[in-house]
Homo-oligomer: A and B are copies of this chain.
Amino acid sequence: MNPDALRGHMDALLLSVVEHEPLHGYAIIEALRERSGGALDVPTGTVYPALRRLERAGFLASEWATVGGRKRRTYRLTDAGRAELAGERTAWTSFTRVIGKVLDPQT
């Protein structure tokens, strides 16, 4: 997977993965890997800053927790995040339609 291809879609991926249950960073990475069938292996250096950015933007909220002696910062979707995710999904659909039209024009 070309890293640049993910540009601008990472937000949607992250928000989508915490939609139904709050998760901490490490679990988010695993969830992305599982949901994608192993195709997505996003490095920590990408995920952690992105989560902080999304929190700063108000789309995520986080809390610290200690589980089994390890500290976790668990992120959950805010209402604004839920709205953002809906918008991202719509944008994704039209994006794929547009690019698809150019790549494979029905002459």
CA distance A11 to B20 in the complex (A): 36
Interface residues on A, range: 20 to 34
- Judging by beta carbons under 8 Å apart, are A5 and B8 in contact? yes
A63 at the interface (CB under 8 A from B): no
Contacts of A66 in B (CB 8 A): none
CA distance A26 to B4 in the complex (A): 25
**In the complex with contacts A7-B8, A8-B7, A96-B96, A2-B102 CB distance below 8 A:** no
A67 at the interface (CB under 8 A from B): no
Checking B4, B89, B101 against A35 with a beta-carbon cut-off of 8 angstroms, the contacting residue is: B101
Contacts of A16 in B (CB 8 A): 102-103
